[in-house]
Structure 1
């Protein structure tokens, strides 16, 4: 019953496309056993199978955190031929199938109690006449009242007393204890941190090395204000919107590194979520000429279904959209337009619901008309996103202050962005801080000084919020960055604190001490190097 996960995910994507209205999966066949050639009568029979939206096999892994943890999976029914007449099937849990499953899998999973799962869309699977598959239905799993351990739920549409593996899905539910640790996550009242981390280079667990201490230095308020983990939103990259040459479909391409990380979510993602972080995937272009700004309505629906499958399957907290590297203008590809991207945002919000984060990184032409509802096809983008922030963060230039409300001030970046329609200023991050290597000249050192950019902006009380966005995280004990940028990181925080003020480019009353890589002594053979570099190939 075990299947290769990468192949399973690809199959799930194809099924998601069919759900969105494409016909690529309509000819999918049900797997059959090998053996002698079937006779003509058997070929004329119609067979059906209960399928999962997360895997091509009939066993589905679900991970829940102890306590109030929950998770959602999808399922549907598919026949080898279109139904001659309308068909309705009822999905139900069948505890009587658990013993045979446990014996075959050589496990001892406890049957999941009925109160720990529910069907938000109902449990009926309907095939109308002349169709091959039902619509997707959701099953929600609840950890409430369960002790940590291994559980199983056989979900079937087979008749009672007539077990049929083709018409049964086996959900393997693991309930685990949250990995909270000894240090709390900073809640984001004075500073709210948004981090990116590139899984092509680093493990997401690098985030757990980011500790910050805030001290109030004035005598009457002296002492430590807080010492916490930091990183409220974590955007994992690289995930791409690519184009399938044969069909022209817009494909969500995870790539090998992200596929591995998501497949090992228990190790790389759940420890971050356990502490209260929101872990999202960041989606950008793939250089194919197809991007967020030139999709058809059918491609948008297809792509949305793929994204939802990944978010639900891996229990992620949302997505970040950053339209860069799409390669617009290639021969034979549609021209950019101003309605495609807003339509995609609206479609994703409606599919993911309000419980998931949907954020946008403002960057170049793709977002330049987001202030104009008419240009966006009547869509006010701010109604559909939780946050937006600047995407200008090159470490070849100074920190770029992107302030849509005060664009003419001398200290504001030359890059421009008008306020996004209906997005409140308190939810727009005006600066995305780069990580700089060791400066090779005095000019470079001055360029990297955030006080040159931020002091007047803070003093005039133009700063609309406490959002701090950082480019791809990295260790502080490696190559040209060794021992250099942690001080700058602290200075950024000092400048951006919502309670602080500046005086001639310097701070009064606050001190931030950045504590990174404090556990590197565990790797003396490497001198601390490479602790959080990816540990897979």
Structure 2
């Protein structure tokens, strides 16, 4: 009964196509064995199986946080042959199956109380005549009233008193205490931090090493605060890809992100426990299909895939960054100005107001977002929570993208008009690159963001959003020895109360601390602690 979770995860995505659209999957894997003629009677019979949308096996792992935590999973019924007649099955929890399951698993799990699960779409599974599978139904798990520990819910469509593992799913529910740690997350009153982290290289837990203190510039011995930083964490890399055979827009997680999401209890929940919002950042895959040339059918399909991933892994939302799509390839539709706004609207409606939907402004895909008519009547700002600049190349100076003051001398050469209906307080004007150690005085001068002084002093800064490109350590190009100090300076310039650069004795300064234990790994060069630990 035990399954390998990581191996089964990919199989589960294949079988979830009808609901989530990751890829086509019309039949299950068939196991064969040689040396024996098949049983003809068995081949003529019709067998059915209760399946999960989260795993190919019949055990499903669910993680809940103590208190008001909740989680959703999907299930459906599938037969080996089309149904001769319409069939309706009723899914139900069966506590009588728990003892045998626990004994086989050599664990002791408490049966999940009936008040801690519900069926938002109803518990009936309808199999139409000539169909092989039912539509997906959701089961919602609720942590309210549960103490931390291990629970089990056998969900079955088998007849009463007739145990049948093929027609039963076993949900293993873990209720866990939040891992808040000793140091609080900075709430973002004077600076609100948005971080990206590339899971192709690092574990998301690297974020938990980012500490900062703010203190008086002169005469202070104690900091005003010493906190974790990183309010929104965007995990990369997830892509919108093109499936040539079907023409579908596919949400491609890739091996690294698939692994991280499958191990969310280890890599994501500790970040969320501290109050961070953890999202996936979606970009192009170089296929020629991107956010700006989707059909309405592709938008609906892609939206369903995104919603399934966000719901399944209890993410806080998504970030859209249309780069690397490879527009203009032969056989692909031309870019248009309505596709991207339609996608944004569709995603907002699917994800609901409780999830974050953020936008990274970058190049042609977002250049008409100020024009409601060009966007097909959609005011993009009505459907997103935040937007910010995506210009953060570490081969050029920091770029200040200010749509409201585009003619000032210190503003970036890149252009972006204000997004329709998006308040200025929700637009991040600068996305700081993380630079390597400067090789010359000229290069060091290029990195300095001194232009921020005038921008802040003149009252143009609309908010406290400060975005940083992919977090990293000094494993690449001796980064850390240089960009530690640069991060401090960026924060000082962005905080209008931090007038240390004006010589004020009442100003504030920041001290960045890539914290705790990173030097305990000399065999990896000192800072290999949070390199990805999977292949």
SS in 2 for 1:63: strand
Q: Which moved more, 1:337-346 or 1:526-535?
A: 526-535
User: How far did 1:509 drift?
Assistant: 0.5
User: How far did 1:7 drift?
Assistant: 5.4
Matches within 5 A, 1:274-293: 274-293=273-292
Sort the Cα spacing of 1:420 and 1:511 in 2 relative to 1 into closer, same or farther, 3 A. Answer: same
> Which residue number in structure 2 is paired with residue 397 of structure 1?
396
Unaligned runs of 5+ in 2: none
User: How far did 1:380 drift?
Assistant: 1.8
SS in 1 for 2:472: coil
Instruction: Return the alpha-carbon distance in structure 2 between the equivalents of residues 227 and 44 of structure 1.
Output: 69
Structure 1 contact 458–501 (Cα < 8 Å) conserved? no
User: How far did 1:479 drift?
Assistant: 3.5
User: How far did 1:510 drift?
Assistant: 0.7
Sort the Cα spacing of 1:448 and 1:141 in 2 relative to 1 into closer, same or farther, 3 A. Answer: same
Instruction: Return the alpha-carbon distance in structure 1 between the equivalents of residues 355 and 56 of structure 2.
Output: 26
Structure 1 contact 30–80 (Cα < 8 Å) conserved? no
Instruction: Return the alpha-carbon distance in structure 1 between the equivalents of residues 60 and 43 of structure 2.
Output: 29
Structure 2 contact 389–431 (Cα < 8 Å) conserved? yes
Q: Does 1:50 align with 2:50?
A: yes
Structure 2 contact 241–285 (Cα < 8 Å) conserved? yes
> Which residue number in structure 2 is paired with residue 335 of structure 1?
334
Q: For 1:298-319, what per-residue CA distance to the aligned partner results, in whole angstroms no more than 9, with x for missing partners? A: 2222222222222222222111
SS in 2 for 1:289: coil
CA RMSD of aligned residues (A): 2.6
> Which residue number in structure 1 is paired with residue 261 of structure 2?
262
Q: Does 1:536 align with 2:528?
A: no
> Which residue number in structure 2 is paired with residue 461 of structure 1?
459
Instruction: Return the alpha-carbon distance in structure 2 between the equivalents of residues 526 and 32 of structure 1.
Output: 43
User: How far did 1:391 drift?
Assistant: 0.5
User: How far did 1:488 drift?
Assistant: 0.9
Sort the Cα spacing of 1:72 and 1:21 in 2 relative to 1 into closer, same or farther, 3 A. Answer: closer
SS in 2 for 1:207: helix
Q: Does 1:192 align with 2:173?
A: no
Instruction: Return the alpha-carbon distance in structure 2 between the equivalents of residues 241 and 335 of structure 1.
Output: 16
> Which residue number in structure 2 is paired with residue 514 of structure 1?
512
User: How far did 1:86 drift?
Assistant: 4.2
> Which residue number in structure 2 is paired with residue 160 of structure 1?
160
Instruction: Return the alpha-carbon distance in structure 1 between the equivalents of residues 503 and 470 of structure 2.
Output: 26
Q: Does 1:472 align with 2:473?
A: no
Structure 2 contact 457–496 (Cα < 8 Å) conserved? no
Q: Does 1:145 align with 2:142?
A: no
Instruction: Return the alpha-carbon distance in structure 2 between the equivalents of residues 323 and 476 of structure 1.
Output: 28
Structure 1 contact 70–142 (Cα < 8 Å) conserved? yes
Q: For 1:103-156, what per-residue CA distance to the aligned partner results, in whole angstroms no more than 9, with x for missing partners? A: 222322221111222222332333445544333222121223323222111111
TM-score normalised to structure 2 length: 0.92
Q: Which moved more, 1:2-11 or 1:98-107?
A: 2-11
Instruction: Return the alpha-carbon distance in structure 2 between the equivalents of residues 329 and 232 of structure 1.
Output: 36
Q: For 1:441-493, what per-residue CA distance to the aligned partner results, in whole angstroms no more than 9, with x for missing partners? A: 22211111112x21111111111111111000012576321411111101111
> Which residue number in structure 1 is paired with residue 239 of structure 2?
240
Q: Which moved more, 1:29-38 or 1:374-383?
A: 29-38
Q: Does 1:490 align with 2:491?
A: no
Instruction: Return the alpha-carbon distance in structure 1 between the equivalents of residues 18 and 270 of structure 2.
Output: 34
Q: For 1:497-517, what per-residue CA distance to the aligned partner results, in whole angstroms no more than 9, with x for missing partners? A: 254458669996011011113
Q: Which moved more, 1:271-280 or 1:120-129?
A: 120-129
SS in 1 for 2:51: strand
Instruction: Return the alpha-carbon distance in structure 2 between the equivalents of residues 507 and 78 of structure 1.
Output: 72
Structure 1 contact 476–517 (Cα < 8 Å) conserved? no
Instruction: Return the alpha-carbon distance in structure 2 between the equivalents of residues 28 and 56 of structure 1.
Output: 13
Matches within 5 A, 1:45-444: 45-217=45-217, 223-444=222-443
Sort the Cα spacing of 1:20 and 1:236 in 2 relative to 1 into closer, same or farther, 3 A. Answer: closer
Structure 1 contact 16–309 (Cα < 8 Å) conserved? no
User: How far did 1:235 drift?
Assistant: 0.7
User: What count of residue pairs does the alignment treat as equivalent?
Assistant: 533
SS in 2 for 1:180: coil
SS in 2 for 1:479: coil
Structure 2 contact 93–154 (Cα < 8 Å) conserved? yes
TM-score normalised to structure 1 length: 0.92
